Structure formats: C-alpha cells, structure tokens
Structure 1
Amino acid sequence: MYFRDFLTILFVLEVTKAVLHEEASIKLFDYLIEKNNLVQDFEKSGLQLPDDTDFIKQLIIGYSDSETAYKGRAEKTFLYEIVANKTTGIDVDKWDYFARDCHHLGINSSFDTKRFLTFAWVCEVDNRKQICIRDKEVDDLYEMFHTRYNLHRRAYQHKVVKVIEEMITDALIIANNHMEGYFGKKIAISETVDDMEAFVKVTDYILNYILNSTDENLSPAREILERLQRRQLFPYVGQKRLKHDITDIDEDSICRKIAAKCNGDPRLEDIAVNVITIDYGMKDKDPIDNMRFYKKGSAEATKLSKSKIIQLLPKHFRQRFIYVFIKKRNPESMAAVTKALNELYPEDDPAVLEEN
C-alpha cells in the first residue's frame, strides 16, 4: 500500500467514525471471498466454514474478552496473539511494517525478530495459553517498542507528514460528494467503507482522478493537490508539548480559541490543529507489564520484576503534542496565530506544559 493510499483510507475511516481499521479489513475479507467465489476452494482445502473464516476474522481483530472470543480455537488461545496482539502489542503486524519502513526511511531497528521467535514459548497464564519469552530477552522487547516510538516520532507523526495528511484530507472532504465519475455510481468517498466494491478503488488513483478532472466541483480540491505537488505546504506555526497525563484536550476547541484571539484574521477554517500521541503502544502504560517471562529450565511464566530490568527506562511511556498549521501563507496571519498559541499555552505554565 502506498503512503497516499493509507491517508485516503484513513480519511474514509475517520469521516465515517469507523472504530477499528480491522473492521474494514474484515468487510474486505468477506467481499473478496464472495467476489472470487472462494467458498468452494476453501472447502476443497479442508477448511470448515464458517468456523475457519470466523477464526481468520478473529485473528485480524485480536483477543477479546467477549463471549464470541476464541470461537473454534479455545484450546489454542495463543494463536490470537500472532497477528494482532491486544495483550502485549507484540505481533507480526508490527514486525512487518518495522522491516518495511525502517528500510525505506533509513531508521535502524535493533530488535531481532528471529531471536524473539527462538526464545518464544507457549505457557499457561491465568488458565489461558499465552506466548511468553525468556527473561533475559526483556531488553530486546524494549528495543522493539522504542523502534515503534522512533518511527512515530520521526516519520508517522512528523509535522511534515501531518500537514500533508491535513491537505489531502481537506481535498477529499471537498471532493467527497463529487466522485460519481470515479466510482461509476453515486456514492460519497466517506460512504465507501460500507460498499467494498467501491472501497477497493480508494487508492492513490483517487487523487490522480481529482488532479486530472475538469469537474468544476472538484476545482478547489484540485488546487490543494496541485499546491501539494509544488510543495507549497500549509505553513507550520509551532508546537506545544503537553504533560503526559493531559487527556481532556480537543482539536476543534483549540482551533476556536486561537481563532477567537485572532479576531477573524485568520478565520477559523484557515487554522489546523493536530493533537498527536506518541507512545509504546499501550497509552501511558509500560507494555512489558502485560508480558510474561519464563526462566531457563522452567515452564512457569511470571511477570518480571522491575528490579530485574537493567535497561534505562523512560519516566513516562507517552508524549503528547499540539501541532498548529495555517492555510494562509502571509506573515500577518502567521504572527497572529503564533501569538495566540503562546498566550493560550505559555511555556512557563507548569500545570499544563512541559518545557520544549
């Protein structure tokens, strides 16, 4: 999947308030089975339907405490930790994008997946079979989560990435109800999550269609994408780093407060705010707390005491930032938004912000 594909699909999931990326994957899985008449092929391969297809869907979602969890595989609960591990966050989904993105971004990852697999055992934990690891490998696990943190800090949540995401989102919102020529039927981009035949077309080609379209309704969206091609990005105003325990913060309310202080120049719709969170995958918690370790020569897996961990750990496992952009490229608007941001969130306010 290309990076722009990801942003386009992210737009669809955000606008439609889809709870999980995995839910769209399951809908797409059902669509592919039906579209390609795979039921007979599955049965010829010895798969039991619908139990085995339900099992595949549960692997995509990961472990759940609901009554339907582990359907057909209650005796092998560790299988649900392989693709999407909701217990520890250690799964092959991460390993896949680590290998891909570290390679293309030139970011080193010292986490050794082959070594992890060598020391991974299935142990009984709280009456459930769980993937556990040798106690001496704890430092390697922290390296994995630190790699995740670095990828988010230096790539996925970088301010340039966020402003490109903002510009593509603006273009798609404008184009949302004017893409009948692309899909071949009257459907909004944001509605494609419920129509897999249309959803499979939500790729970077949707942006090429907008760029090459002569539809006047798509003209404002086309202008944004052309601006993006020329690298004329929305100007970056600045950022504020929040204390790790600040949670009650909303992007829309920050925009309104900044606009109010600017007295109409720039306007509310010309201000963009991103509140981003960078963590180890478990919000403000240490993900290793949920991992169980075994000692050499023992089949018993237990939680590892912090006193046994020699690695220097971060004081907090989550950082939150406010990124502020402006869609008007002029010094007066930039100065007004900068002043408003600093007045709303002064650097010396110990109750709200840490020093940048």
Structure 2
Amino acid sequence: MNEQGKRVHREEPHHVLPSPDGTMILPKRLKPAPFKTRFISPRDHDTARTNDEIHTSISFCPVVRAIVDTRVFQRLRGIQQLARADLVFMNTNHSRFEHSLGVAHLAERLCKRLQEQHPKLKISHKDVLCVKLAGLLHDIGHGPFSHTYEVVVKNALPQYLDDHPDLKEHYAGYPKLAKDWCHEKVSLDMIDLCLDELGLQIDYQELDRPLKQIGDGLDRCSMRCFNSFKNEIDDFSITKVHYNDDDDILTSRDFCFIKECILGRPLPGFKDFIGRTNMHKEFLYDIVCNRHSGLDVDKIDYFARDERRAIWASGEIETLMVDEAVVAWAACTAERGSCPGCDRPEHKHHKHHLMICYPEKRIPDCLRFFKKRYTNHDTIYKHKTTRAGQLLMCDILCQADPFFRIFTPHPFVKRGPLFPQKFEKLPLSLAMLDPYVFMDLDDSIFELILHSPDPRLNPAKKLIYERYKSRKLYKCVGWEVIDRKDEIGMNIWKKSESQIAAEMLTMGGEHRDSDGKPLVLEKEDFVLDKCSSNYGSGDKNPLEKMRFVRREDMSTHKKHRPAEDLPLAILFDEKRFSTELPRSFESNIIRVYSRNDEKSDLVGHVFAEWIEKALLGKAGIFSMTSDPEEVDDDEEEDCKLPPVELSQESIPENYREFYGEDDDDDKSIAL
C-alpha cells in the first residue's frame, strides 16, 4: 500500500518493506493478482498458544492459525471423537477439533526430533510444517458421529436397503460410492475446500509453484514458513524482518505431500508419491499415518486422550515413542506389490526403505503401546453399552436416510471453481459428493431430523425421541467369545451378521410369553454385532512389522552419518521376549441386542440355542461343514427346537450361569 492507500503491485520479487506507519510488512509478490488478498503481518509471527489437557500447551504458527480459523476446520468442534461413548463414560465428549490439534503438535515434535538427530537427512523447515499440517487436517473428512457415519455408509445402510428393496428408488439419479470410500478420501476434498475458502487452489500443472490464487482471501505467498529467517528479528523493531528465499513458500507439491501423508499412499490417479520424490525422505510419510508399523502420532494422541477422558487413567502420551524415534534402513513390511516405493529403480538396488525405527531396548515399551490399543478397544470403543448406543444411531440414520435430504448451501455461500453445484439436494449418506454440503454436517444432524415436517421420518423421529434422548439403549441379551484358532470357531466367525440372523430365524419351536401368548421372532426384533479387539495387526504380533536398531548402532556418530550410511535395522526376535508376549493378540466376540423390549428373553433364548448348536458344529442351517441340502433327515430332526413357553425361568441354566444376569445396563456405566 502506498501513502494514498492505493494497492501497489510489483512484478519482481523484493525483500520485505515496512509500511509508512511501521505496523505492516508486505511479503514478496511473485506477480500481480486481480483479487483482494491479505498478508500475514509481522505481528502474526508471534506464535499463539492454547492449553491442552494432554500436551499442556500447543503452539500455532501463522499458517496453522489461518487454516484453523476456516469454517471447514471449525466444523470439527461439532463432531465428538468417540461418537456417543459419553452415554457410558460421561467425560468422553471431546471433539475431533482438539484431537487434530494434538496430532499436529506431536507431528511437529517428532519431525523436529528426527531433524535434530539426523542433520544430514536435510529435513527442512518446510518439511516440518507440511507434516504438521497433515496431522492437523488428517481427520477433517469425518462425518457426523465420527466412525459411526462411516459404518452407516459402508455397511449398515447397504444392508438396510437390501432388506427393504422398495426404498432404493429414493436414490435414483445419485451415483454410487466407490467400494474403497473412506473418510481419509473425503479429507482430500475438504483440504481443497479449506484452501478454496482462503482463495487458494492446488495447481497440478505447476507443482513447484506457489498455490494458485483463485479468489479473495489469504495471499498465496503468505502460506510459508515463518520460523526460518535469514536474520533474527530485532526485539525493538519490526522493520528488520527479512524472509528467506522463495523456497519457504508452500507450493502445490507441498500440499500434495500433505494429502499423501494423510492417505498413506499415492493420490488417486498417480502410481507413486509426488510430494516428496527423494527416497531419503520417504520416512516422513509414516509420521501421521504409519503404513509400515501402525505406530504413528495419530494413535499416540488418541490413545492418551481417550484413556484420560474415559477411565481417568494416566492419559499420558508415550513420550518414548516420540523422543527415541530414529531413522534407519529396514526391510519393507508391506505385502508384496502393495508398496509403491518397492517398485522404484533405486529400491530394486538397495532393497530397503528408510523407516522410523526404535532402539532395540524399547521393544517392551512398543509392546505396551500396542497393549494400550487393545485395552482401549476392549474397555471403551467396544464396550457393550457403547456399541448399543452406536447400533441405535445406525438404525436412526438408516431409517432417515431414504427420505431426509440436505440442501445445497445458501446463495450467499460463494462456490469456488473446483466444486460446481451438481445436485440440488443430497441424502445424508451421499453428502460427501458435494463438499459444501458435507461441511454443514456435524453431530447436530439428529435435531434436524427431529424437526423435519416430513411424515416419512416418523420412525426415525420415534427412535430419537423415545430411545436416544432418554438413553433407552438396546439391551445386550447374549454374547459369545469366539476362538478363531479353532476350526469351528473360525467357521462361525466367517458368517456375517445377516447370515447368523437368518439362521436364528429358522430355529424351530413355538414360543410363548409368561401369559401364554405366542411370540414370533422377526428380523427387526434384534441386531447382531461382531467385535474384534486386537493389538493393531489382527491376530498377529504388531512388533513383527516394526524394525529396531541395535545398541551398537545407536551411537551419535552413526546417527549423524549421510543417508546411505545409516545403520540397518533388525527384525523383532520373538524368542528373547516370549515371557512378555500375550497368548493371543486378538479377541473376538459376537453379541446380540434386542430392539424389542417385549422379546428380549426370546432373543436371548434363541441366540443361546443357536450358539450351542454352532459350537457343536451343527449350525449353519444347520451344518458348519456341509451344504444345507446335504443334511440328512435325522440331523434335521435334531436341529429342531421343541416347543417352549418362554419366561425368565425357561432360559437354560447353563446360559444364565455363563452370561450372568444383566437386566440393567446402568450397572455398567463408568462415571
């Protein structure tokens, strides 16, 4: 700006110049832009901080602050991290917003740790900022109720529509989602929408140039590193600030790198990573989403945060997982053909990757980290009452989705060129087809359904009003732990919930209540839930996918070597730690919940009979090994249930002894 307040455009790059009043400094401009853009002033260089219950204090650089203040990111305040686990653990009402800030903080901390430990790897300030932004934006694509929305879209709703084929006509004209759809892919679109709100866009034609300026907002040259100045800032004057070279400006390639860090694989349409093509920096991809071992800053944060909120345990971050991480050469842990880096010519010669590894002495600590994952899943995420609440929410969303529509944003919402309007309105399950629509979705969606005048939504409204709002959750009336190492157990586990439900409905016999009235079990009366809790690698030891550095290779002079001379990490030796390993790394359980309070005893009775015959190898309509048509007449007779008058007393004694009395779910609430 000149003295008359008129805009000054400069064709050539120039160093920072103070404004007449000394309070504003303009960064370099690469070329004039026909938009009203704003610059980040020197006063914004001061790092902002906020308190956090896990990390004590989290800092914001100007670029992070600019992104956090967008509507796209602020939406995460309205999405709870654990959906409605607070129905059981009342303090678990933390949001995706604070978790995302925590992951960004840890990503920066780990990246700076590796930068300090390995100076010859040339981890730049821009690399650190990009990894931090990946941590900040990794969950920006979550829908209402976090993972519950994803379960509805991918599993619950398709099954519901198969059971009610007449409802499929309400989706005519809408495209089908890809089978590999996930919230991480939505995050890629939401990042584009976030940049669009700032007036910026990724330019895939000029990856090494600054972001494309497409509208009013933040000047593209303001998206840069602010902690790498050529000269120190004078404590008494802001007129001596000098930016570094143009290399500090974030480019389109940098934001491709951010997206790849979130996705954990190359972007759609690309066979290999384009963000960081140098093989000596590929370990940066594993900080936010570790495609090799699964030990990343995302899990470090939410393990501690969820544990603190749910069971008020230590809730401390695993500092050793951050402070003792090192980089070393190691054999790839991915399945053959699934790692794009293994196909590079340089890898064919070297046959190893640069990976994030840990000292060999930290093997027990790594095992405890994955043990915490199992504990959190078993105690919090897969708690029977937590799952009851999630199943109820799935039912509400499935019943509402065919009729409820989200309209495109109001006319005052200015669309960018990347996402033109294609639909006037969208169902909840397809809201991600328009990021502008998806941006309006959060956990308040039930209130919108409840106040909709459409009478077709009455079944969903009834569930919200009579069950959800009064916490009358579905009752768990039976469960069975399944041993997948056993052949019969494996055959049981291979069955889907719908297959098990169909077999339960074919169980013979007549059922009556205590008053003698006949009872008929229907598919809508119950819902089955298969849950697995593991250490992160299914039934395998997660340490098998990690790599560790020998003690003699941990000396400072060896870590400070060039990339080519870094040590070779070794595999986990199970024999040395056999006493610390659990007998099994995974537990599997099948639960049945009653949707109909009047038929709870009936559902529990039929499930008990089904599981008894299944464990004897007679279930599967009714054989686990034979085709139904091959079951002979004698076996078929054995499979029929005798008539039974159902009451509390009629439940088999061994069933009640095994499962115990559980008439009141409130007894399991941890407050």
Query: TM-score over 0.5 for the alignment?
Result: yes
Aligned twin of 1:327: 595
Contact 1:110 1:143 in 2 (8 A): no
CA distance in structure 2 between the aligned counterparts of 1:64 and 1:243, rounded to whole angstroms = 37
Q: Residues 118 and 104 of structure 1: is their aligned pair in 2 closer, same or farther, counting only changes over 3 Å?
A: same
Alignment of 1:230 with 2:432, yes or no, is: no
The 5 A counterparts of 1:69-148 are 69=273, 71-73=275-277, 74-108=279-313, 113-126=318-331, 127-148=352-373
Contact 2:189 2:435 in 1 (8 A): yes
| Alpha-carbon distance between aligned partners in 2 of 1:311 and 1:213, rounded to the nearest angstrom | 59
* Residue segments in structure 2 that go unaligned for 5+ positions in a row: 1-78, 85-144, 158-176, 201-210, 214-218, 225-247, 332-351, 410-423, 510-518, 554-566, 620-657, 660-671
- AA partner of residue 187 (structure 1): L
Alignment of 1:1-356 (within 5 A): 1-2=79-80, 3-4=83-84, 5-6=145-146, 7-14=148-155, 15=157, 17-38=179-200, 39=211, 40=213, 41-44=219-222, 45=224, 46-47=248-249, 49-63=251-265, 67-69=271-273, 71-73=275-277, 74-108=279-313, 113-126=318-331, 127-180=352-405, 185-226=424-465, 227-245=467-485, 246=490, 247-261=493-507, 265-298=520-553, 299-309=567-577, 311-330=579-598, 333-346=599-612, 349=615
How far the C-alpha of 1:232 sits from its partner, in A, is 1.3
Counterparts of 1:229 and 1:134, CA distance in 2: 50
Determine if contact 2:533/2:587 at 8 Å carries over to the other structure: yes
Q: Determine if contact 1:24/1:193 at 8 Å carries over to the other structure.
A: yes
Q: 1 CA distance for matches of 2:316 and 2:433? A: 38
Residues 322, 348 of structure 1: CA spacing in aligned structure 2 closer, same or farther, 3 A cutoff? closer
Distance in 2 (CA, whole Å) between partners of 1:225 and 1:335 is: 24
SS in 2 for 1:254: helix
**TM-aligned CA deviation for residue 76 of structure 1:** 0.7
- Percent of matched pairs sharing the same residue: 25
Q: Deviations over 1:91-128 (max 9, x none)?
A: 01101211221111125358752222222110011321
CA distance in 2, matches of 1:35, 1:51: 19
SS in structure 2 of the partner of residue 167 of structure 1 = helix
Q: State the structure with more CA Rg.
A: 2
The DSSP-based 3-state class of the residue aligned with 1:141 is: helix
Structure-2 separation of matches of 1:21 and 1:348: 36
The residue type paired with residue 602 of structure 2 is A
TM-score (norm 1): 0.89
The RMSD of aligned alpha carbons is 2.8
How many angstroms apart in 2 are the aligned matches of 1:217 and 1:123? 60
Gap change, CA 1:86 and 1:64, over 3 Å in 2: farther
- Structure 1 residues 102, 287: closer, same or farther in 2, change over 3 A? same
Alpha-carbon offset, residue 166 of structure 1: 1.1
- Structure 2 SS opposite 1:178: coil
- The amino acid across from 1:270 in the alignment is D
Runs of 4+ deviating beyond 6 Å: none
Q: Contact 1:27/1:196 (CA < 8 Å) preserved in 2?
A: yes
Post-superposition Cα deviations, 1:221-274, rounded to whole Å, max 9, x if no partner, equal 111112121121122111111113425220111111112227782211222011
CA contact under 8 A between 2:318 and 2:369: conserved in structure 1?
A: no
Q: Residue 62 and residue 103 in structure 1: after superposition, are their counterparts in 2 closer, same or farther (change >3 A)? A: same
Name the aligned partner's letter for residue 51 of structure 1: R
Q: As a proportion of its length, which structure holds more helix? A: 1
CA distance in 1: counterparts of 2:361 and 2:185, whole angstroms = 37
Counterparts of 2:508 and 2:392, CA distance in 1:
22
Give me the whole-angstrom Cα distance separating, in 1, the residues matched to 2:317 and 2:283: 21
Q: Distance in 2 between matches of 1:162 and 1:70?
A: 40
Letter in 2 for 1:154: T
Equivalent-residue separation in structure 2 for 1:212 and 1:13 (angstroms):
26
**3-state SS of the aligned residue for 1:201?**
coil
Residue aligned with 1:320, SS: strand
Checking the alignment, whether the CA contact within 8 Å between 2:193 and 2:435 is kept in structure 1 is yes
Distance in structure 2 (CA, Å) of the matches to 1:348 and 1:176: 35
1:132 aligned counterpart, secondary structure: strand
1:68 shift after superposition: 1.3
Letter in 2 for 1:231: R
Distance 1:118 1:186, change over 3 A: closer
User: Cα–Cα, structure 1 residues 183 and 152, in superposed 2: closer, same or farther, change >3 Å?
Assistant: farther
Measured in 2, the distance between the counterparts of 1:48 and 1:269 equals: 54
CA contact (8 A) 2:304 2:316 kept: no
Match of 2:26 in 1: none
Equivalenced residue count is: 353
Change (3 A) 1:69 1:181: closer
State how far apart, in whole Å, the 2-side matches of 1:187 and 1:198 are. Answer: 8
Contact 2:406 2:431 in 1 (8 A): no
* Aligned counterparts of 1:304 and 1:339: Cα–Cα separation in 2: 47
Mapped partners of 1:348, 1:163: distance in 2: 24
